Chains A and B, each alone.
Chain A
Amino acid sequence: MLRLPSDNYKNMISINDVRKSYGPPECRVEVLRGVSLKIQQGEFLALMGPSGCGKSTLLHLLGGFDQMDSGEIFLGENAIHQMNDQQLTRLRRDTIGIIFQFFNLLPTLTAEENIQLPALLQGQSAPAVRARTTQLLAEVGLSQKADKKIHQLSGGEMQRIALARALIGNPTVLLADEPTGNLDSESSRNVISLLRELGREHGTTIIMVTHSTEIAANADRCLAMRDGNLLI
C-alpha cells in the first residue's frame, strides 16, 4: 500500500537529479539532464517548454511509464525509482490518473465504459462504479453521451471523458500531458477550468504539461524546461 505524506509532510513529490536518455549509444539523445523538483500536496503545477525539452518524459517517469537512467523520484515516502513492475502497476492503478493530448480513449468501449475502466481495474464493486460514473459524467457535463462510442464524440467531449476517467479512481496525483493541445480555445478553457475545479474538489495534486502560457496561467505554479533542464 502506498504511504502518503502526513499533514505536516507537505512535499507530495520529490524529484532528485533525474536523468533520462534515448537511442543507441552512437546517437544517444539526453532528454533529461539532472532534473530536481519538489511538488506539494494539492498543488496545480504547470510545466512549460518547447517540443522535445523533456517535459512529457518527466511526466511519464512520474507516472511510472518508463525507467530513468539515474536519479530518484519519491511519491510521498515511496521511491518510484526502486519499484518493480508489479508495484508500478499498483501505483498507476491506485494513485495516479493521467490525461493525454490525444485523449487515448479505447475506441472499442463506450464513453461510460472508458470512464469505468480504472475503477474496475481497482476492483471496485460494479454498483459503486456505476454510481460514481454517473456522478462524474454529470460533473463533466456529458450525462447524455454515456452510451456513445468514442468516434461519436467531439474532441472537447473526448477530453472531458478522459478527465472523468482519470478521476474515477480517486487518484492522489493527476498527470495531464498537453490536455488542451488538440482542442479549440473554447474547449480548452472548459477542460482546464474543469480540471482545476475537480482537482481542487478532490484534493488532487495536478502536474500539467503545456505549450500555452494562457493555459499555464491557471496553475498555482509554473515551471519552464529547456534542453532537459528545469529553468527556475
Chain B
Amino acid sequence: MFLLFCHHSFRYFSRHKLLSFLNVFGIALGVAIFVSVQAVNHSALQSFRASIDIVSGKANLELVGNGLPFDETIYPKIRSLKGIAAATPLVETVATPVSVPDEYLQIIGLDPFSNGPFRTFTLKQNGHAIDPLSFLENPSALALTESMAARLHVRLGDPLLLQTDSGVRPFKVTFLIAFNEDAVGVNDHIAMMDIANAQENFGMSGHLSRISCQIAPDQDLDWIAQEIRTLVPSDVLVQAPDRRGKQVDKMLGAFELNLTSLSLVSLLVGMFLIYNTVSTAVMRRRSEIGILRALGLQAIQVQLFFICEALVLGILGLVLGILGGLGLAELLIGQVSETITSLYLLLSIREIFVSPLSLLGTAALGLGAVILAAWFPAREAALIPPVQALQVGYLEVSFQQRTPRLLFLALLSALLALCLGWASLAGGSHWLSFGTALFTLLTFALCVPTSIRWITRCLRPRNIISRVALRTFGSSLHRNSITIAALVTAIAMLVGVSVMIFSFRTTVNQWLNETVKADLFITDSANFRAGTRKLVRPEVEHIIRNLSGLETYDTYRELELTLHGSPFKLSAIRFPVAASHNLLRFHHGQGSTIFRRAANQDQVCISEPFARKFGFHEGETLSLSTPAGILPFTVIGVFQDYTSDLGVVMIDSQTYQKHWHDLSYNSFALYLQKGVSSKTVQATLKQSLLLLGSYMVYSNQELRSQVFRIFDQTFRVTYLLQAVALLVSGLGIFLNLIIMIAERRREIGILRSMGTSRFQMISMILQEAALLGGLGSALGLAAGLALTWVLSNVINIAFFGWTIAWATPWLFLCTLPFTVIVTSLASGFWPARTAAHGNISQAVKME
C-alpha cells in the first residue's frame, strides 16, 4: 500500500508541479494568518506578564490600589505581619522624555532595600552588575533598557529631561537594565529609579502603587490574604499577582477573539482549496481508481490514499505556513501593540512568543482541517463502483443529483444559525454567536450549486462562444461550486466586516457629533501615546478659569477599577456642565434631565457595554469600592458609549471627589463663548501651558481625528486578514481554471479544430472566470450583508454590547463585484492563454 502510494501519488505530484505548489501555497497562507494572529495574541499576554514579573516576579501576593494609589503607611504594617517573608513597595507612573515626545517611559520607583528577593533583573554599568542601592548615591539616577536608551539617543552618564508632575526635571542615565533569561518579552519602555525619587517627582508623595509580598513557606496564602484585607482599606485589592494576568486575559479576550475568528476564516477558505484539490484528483484519476479497485484495492484503501495525498500537501503547507506566520507576526506586532496600548493597557510587544503547545495545537488544527476537507471527496472516490469509476462524468452526475439535498442542508443551516443567534442573545454562551456566523456562511456556501444550475438555466446567450462557456460552467458543477463557495466565504467576510466597520464608524461619528461639543481639550501629551494615565497639574485649571472668552469647562478624571475581578472604567465629569452641553443618548430619558438629577448624588450612569458585561439595569444598586469603603450607587441611566468595551461608569465630579478624595484630573473640555475663535484661544493656551509641561491643546476637529486614528488602527489588522482570505480564494479561481483547462483539453482542441480562434478561446475561458467571479461576488455580497447583521446584532451584542446603527457603504458595495470580476479575469488570463495556444492535434487525440 505504501509503495503504491509512493509510486502513484508522488508521480502525480511531480506531473502536476504547479498545481501542487499552488495548493501548498494556499494552505500555507491560511495557516500563516492563523499562526501569526495566535503568536501576536500570545506575545501580548506574555509581554504583559513578563513586565509584571520584572520587579516582583517572585512575589506570590500583592496589594494594588483599585484605581488610585494607596497610603504608604500600609507598607510597614504588611512588612511586620506574621507570615510575610518579604515585602517591597512600588510606585508606577508614566513620563514623557522632553527630547523625544513621541516616546514614553513606564517609570517604576523601587525600594532598593527591600526589592532584592523579588527582582528578576540586574542593573549594569559599563558591563558590570551594580547593586540597586547605588540609586541612593545619586537622587537623579535613572535606569533604562538598552533598546530604549538607543531610541532616545542617550548613553550611560547622559542627562535625560523628563516631563514630571512638577515640571521638566533633569535625570541622569546611570544604569542599564539587563533582564534575567526567564524574563523574556519585557516591555522595553520600563525605566527605574529610587522609590522616593519617583514619589517626589511624580506627585505621589506618601502613596504607593503596589506592594509585592512573599509568604513564608509554612503559611497559608489565603489566610494571610484574609488577614491583610482586615488591615487595609477596601479600595486596596489583595490578590495573587497572576490575577492581573487573568484580568488582562479577560480585558483583551474580545479583541483577540475578533482576530482569531477572522484568521479562522482564512483557514476555512484554505479548506475549500483542499476539498477542491482532492475532488479534482479524484475526477482526474477516476480510471486509475477503477483499475486499482478492479485489481482488488479496497474502498477504505482508496479513501486513505487520497487523504494521505492531501496530508502530504497539508503538512508541507503547515510547515511553510508556520514559518511564514511567525514572519507575518513580526509585521503585525507593532500595529497590535499600539492598538492595545491605546484601548486597554500599556504594552509594548517587542518579541514574538510561540509556545510549543500552541504550535502543536495549530498543527493539529491544520491537519484536522486538511483531513476534514479531504474526507468527503476521498470517501466519494472510495464509494464509486469500479465500472462506473471508468466512466467520464460519474462524479459530476452524482454531484448534480445531490443538489436538492444540498439546498435542504442550506435551509437547515439557516435554521441552525437563527437558533444559535437566539440562544446566544437569550443568555446562552457568547461562543454560540460565532456558531451563528459560521452557519450563516455555510448557508450561502450550500446554496452555490443550486445557484449555478439556476443561472445556467436562466441565461440564454445568443453568441455560441458564450453559450459554450455557460454550458461548461454549469457542467463542472462540483468543481465550480467549491471554488465559488470559497470565494463567497472570503467576500462575505470582506463585506461583513467592512459594512460592520463602516456602520460602527458612522455610528461613532454621529455619537461624537452629538456628545462631544466642547471647542477645546487639554491633556498631558503622554495620554496620547499611552492612554489616559497622566494627571494634569492643578495650575492648568487655574489658567483655564482665567481664560477670556470661556463659557464653561468640564473636567475629566478616569480610573480603572475592578468589579467581580473584571476591569472597567470610572469616569468622573461635571454633571451640571454635561446637562447643558452633552447630548449623550440614554436608553430611557433625556441626558440633560438625568445629569441634573444625578449631580452631587450617589447616582451613576453606566455605558451599554458595562450594563451587558456586569448585568446591571436602571434603578439597580451598584456597589463600588472607594477609599471610604464599598458604597452603594444607584444606576440612573444606561447610555450609548463607544470609548471602551471594558464598560464605563460615569459619576459626577463632586460625588467622585467626595468619596474618592481625589481632586486631580486627566483632562479638560472647554466650551467657548459664541463668536470666540477657538484657534486664537488654542494658541493662547498653548503658550500659557508651555512652562507647565508637555500639554496638548486640541480642537474638536483634532479630537475627532485622534478618535478615528485609533479606530482605524484597531481595524487595520483585520483588513490584512481579509486581503489574505481574498488572495487564497483568488488562488482558488486560478487553480480552478488551470484544472478546467487540463480536464477540457480535448474539448478545447475540438473547438479549435472547428475554427474557434485563439481570441474566441480566451474570451470563452474568461467568460467562465467572470461567471465564477460574478456569482461569487453576488452570493458573497448577500452572505456578507447577512454576516454584517450577525456581527452587529449577535456577536457584538454578545461580546461588546455596542449599539451599531446600520450604514451602507454604497460605493464599496457597488464597486466590489467589478473588482472581484476583474480579479477573476486577471486570474483567468494565463490559463486562458495557455488553453488558446495548446496543440490542437495532441488535444483531439486525447482519450
Chain A residues whose C-beta falls within 8 Å of the C-beta of B751 in the assembled complex: 106, 117
For residue B750, CB closer than 8 A to chain A, the reply is: yes
Contact B753 A63 (CB under 8 A): yes
Cβ-defined contact, A104 with B746, below 8 A: yes
- Residue in A57, A66, A116, A118 whose CB lies within 8 Å of B840: A66
Nearest-Cβ distance from residue B357 to partner chain A, whole angstroms: 52
Task: Please state if A102 and B471 are interface contacts (CB–CB under 8 Å).
Answer: no
Contact flags B373-410 to A (C-beta < 8 A → 1, else 0): 00000000000000000000100000000000000000
Closest to A106 in B: B747
Of residues 116 through 155 on chain A, the ones whose CB sits less than 8 Å from some CB of chain B are 116-118, 120-122, 126, 151
Given the known interface contacts A65-B841, A66-B840, the answer about A108 and B471 at a Cβ–Cβ threshold of 8 Å is yes
CA distance A12 to B278 in the complex (A): 51
Residues of A within 8 A of B841 (CB): 57, 60, 65-66
CB atoms of B750 and A104 under 8 A apart: yes
Option from A109, A122, A169 in Cβ contact (under 8 Å) with B471: A109
Question: Closest CB of chain B to A124's CB: distance in Å?
Answer: 11
Across the two chains, which residue of chain B brings its CB closest to A165? B754
As a 0/1 sequence over residues 56 to 72 of chain A, the CB contacts with chain B under 8 angstroms (1 = contact) are 11001001011000000
Distance of A60 Cα from B474 Cα, bound (Å)? 31
For residue B752, which residues in chain A have a CB less than 8 angstroms away from its CB? 65, 89, 92
Closest Cβ of chain B: how far from A88's Cβ, in Å?
A: 9
Judge whether B758 is part of the interface by a CB distance below 8 angstroms. Answer: yes
* Residues of chain B with a CB closer than 8 A to A120's CB: 464
- Cα–Cα distance between A93 and B474 once the two chains are bound (Å): 26
**Closest-CB distance, B628 to chain A (whole angstroms):** 83
A122 touches which one: B472, B475, B755 (CB < 8 A)?
B755
Write the nearest CB–CB distance from A204 to chain B, whole angstroms: 16
CB distance from B743 to the nearest CB of A (A): 12
* Majority-rule SS of A interface residues: helix
User: Does chain B have a CB within 8 A of A6?
Assistant: no
Q: Does chain A have a CB within 8 A of B833?
A: no
Q: What are 7 A-B pairs at a CB distance below 8 A?
A: A60-B840, A92-B754, A92-B755, A104-B844, A106-B468, A108-B472, A109-B467
CB pair B758 A121 closer than 8 Å: no
Chain B nearest CB, measured from A57 CB (Å) = 7
Q: Given the complex, which residues of B lie within 8 Å of A116, measured CB to CB?
A: 464
Instruction: Say yes or no: is B7 at the interface (Cβ < 8 Å to chain A).
Output: no
Q: In the complex, which residues of chain B have a beta carbon less than 8 angstroms from the beta carbon of A165?
A: 754
A195-210 Cβ-contact flags toward B at 8 Å (1 or 0): 0000000000000000
Q: Are A89 and B462 in contact, CB atoms less than 8 angstroms apart? A: no
18 additional contacts, CB 8 Å, given A109-B468, A121-B754? A57-B841, A60-B844, A65-B841, A66-B839, A66-B842, A89-B757, A89-B758, A92-B753, A92-B755, A93-B754, A93-B755, A104-B749, A104-B750, A104-B753, A104-B844, A106-B751, A120-B464, A151-B393
Contacts of B462 in A (CB 8 A): 126
Question: B847: CB under 8 A from chain A?
Answer: yes
B756 touches A121 (CB 8 A): yes
Whether a CB of chain A sits under 8 angstroms from the CB of B709 is no
Residue A90 at the chain B interface, CB threshold 8 Å = yes
Contact residues in A for B758 (Cβ distance below 8 Å): 85, 89
Which of A60, A94, A113 touches B755 (beta carbons < 8 Å)? A94
Inter-chain contact A108/B475, CB cutoff 8 Å: yes
The smallest beta-carbon distance between B466 and chain A, in angstroms, is 11
Question: Complex Cα distance A211/B393, Å?
Answer: 30
Say if the beta carbon of A44 comes within 8 Å of chain B. no
Report the bound CA distance from A213 to B847 in whole Å.
25
Docked Cα-Cα span, A56 to B467, in Å, equals: 31
A89 touches B464 (CB 8 A): no
Kindly count the residue-residue contacts between A and B in the assembled complex, taking CB atoms under 8 Å apart.
81
User: Which B residue sits closest to A175, measured CB to CB?
Assistant: B753
Nearest CB in chain B to that of A116: its residue:
B464
Closest to B758 in A: A85
A8 within 8 A of B: no
Given A56-B845, A65-B844, A104-B746, are A90 and B755 also a contact pair (CB < 8 Å)? yes
B472: which A residues are within 8 A, CB to CB?
Answer: 108
B839: which A residues are within 8 A, CB to CB?
65-66
Is the CB of A98 closer than 8 A to any CB of chain B? yes
With a CB–CB cut-off of 8 A, which chain A residues contact B471? 106, 108-109
Q: In the complex, what distance in Å separates the CA atom of A187 from the CA atom of B756?
A: 30
CA distance A122 to B750 in the complex (A): 15
CB-CB nearest in chain B for A95: B755
**Closest 10 A/B residue pairs (Cβ):** A93-B755, A108-B471, A66-B841, A120-B464, A65-B840, A60-B841, A65-B841, A92-B755, A89-B757, A104-B750
Bound complex: CA A92 to CA B751 (Å): 10
Residues of A within 8 A of B749 (CB): 65, 104
Q: How many residues of A contact B (CB 8 A)?
A: 33
Residues 715-759 (chain B) with a chain A CB within 8 angstroms: 746-747, 749-758
Query: Max chain B CB contacts within 10 Å: which of A89, A90, A122, A126?
Result: A89
A100 and B754 contacting across the interface, CB-CB below 8 Å: no
CA distance A105 to B392 in the complex (A): 14
A86 to B754, CA, bound (A): 13
Contact call A65/B755, Cβ cutoff below 8 A: no
Give the docked Cα–Cα distance between A111 and B657 (Å).
90
Q: Which residues of B contact A92 (CB under 8 A)?
A: 752-755
Residue contact A106 to B753, C-beta cutoff 8 Å: no
Interface string of B403-438 (1 = CB under 8 A from A): 000000000000000000000000000000000000
Q: Is A107 interfacial (CB 8 A cutoff)?
A: yes
The answer for the CA separation of A120 and B757 in the assembled complex, in Å, is 13
A107 vs B760: C-alpha distance when bound (angstroms):
19
**In whole angstroms, how far apart are the Cα atoms of A169 and B464 in the complex?**
15
Residues on B with C-beta less than 8 A from A107 are 393, 475, 747
CA distance A65 to B750 in the complex (A): 10
Residues of A within 8 A of B753 (CB): 63, 65, 92, 98, 104
Whether B844 pairs with A121 at a CB distance below 8 angstroms is: no
Complex CA distance for A120 and B466, rounded to whole angstroms: 12
> In the complex, what residues of B have CB within 8 A of residue A57's CB?
841
In angstroms, how far is the closest chain B Cβ from the Cβ of A152?
13
Given known contacts A66-B841, A107-B393, A117-B464, is B847 in contact with A102 (CB within 8 Å)? yes
Considering only residues 464-505 of chain B, those with a C-beta below 8 Å from chain A are: 464, 467-468, 471-472, 474-475
Contacts of B464 in A (CB 8 A): 116-117, 120-121
User: Shortest CB–CB separation between residue A51 and chain B, in angstroms?
Assistant: 12
Please, how many angstroms separate the alpha-carbon atoms of A116 and B467 in the complex? 12
**B475 proximity list for chain A (CB < 8 A):** 107-108
Closest chain-B Cβ to A197's Cβ sits at a distance in Å of 23
Q: Which residues of B contact A104 (CB under 8 A)?
A: 746, 749-750, 753, 844
In the complex, chain B residues 738-793 whose Cβ is within 8 Å of any chain A Cβ: 746-747, 749-758, 760
Contacts of A169 in B (CB 8 A): 755
Q: Within residues 73 to 104 of chain A, which ones have a CB less than 8 A from any CB in chain B?
A: 85-86, 89-90, 92-94, 98, 100, 102, 104
Determine how close the nearest CB of chain B comes to the CB of A128; give it in whole angstroms.
Answer: 14
Q: Which residues of the partner chain B approach A122 to less than 8 Å between Cβ atoms?
A: 755
Q: How far is the CA of A100 from the CA of B753 in the complex (A)?
A: 11
Contact between B844 and A100 (Cβ–Cβ < 8 Å)? yes
Are B746 and A108 neighbours in the complex by a CB distance under 8 Å?
Answer: no
Chain B proximity of A118: nearest CB distance (Å)? 5
- CB neighbours of A63 from chain B (8 A): 753
Residues in B neighbouring A93, C-beta threshold 8 A: 754-756
Q: Which single residue of chain A is at the shortest CB-CB distance from B842?
A: A66
- Chain A residues, CB < 8 A from B755: 89-90, 92-94, 118, 121-122, 169
> In the bound complex, how far is the Cα of B756 from the Cα of A106, in angstroms?
13
A113–B466 CA distance with the chains assembled, in angstroms: 13
Chain A residue with the shortest CB-CB distance to B837: A85
CB neighbours of A60 from chain B (8 A): 840-841, 844
Q: Bound complex: CA of A66 vs CA of B757, how far in Å?
A: 15
Give per-residue flags for B69-98: 1 if the beta carbon is below 8 A from chain A beta carbons, else 0: 000000000000000000000000000000
| A228, chain B: closest CB distance, angstroms | 16
Contacting residues, chain A, for B474 (C-beta < 8 A): 108
- Which residue, of A65, A85, A86, A105, has the highest number of chain B Cβ atoms within 10 A? A65
Contact present for A118 and B844 (CB under 8 Å): no
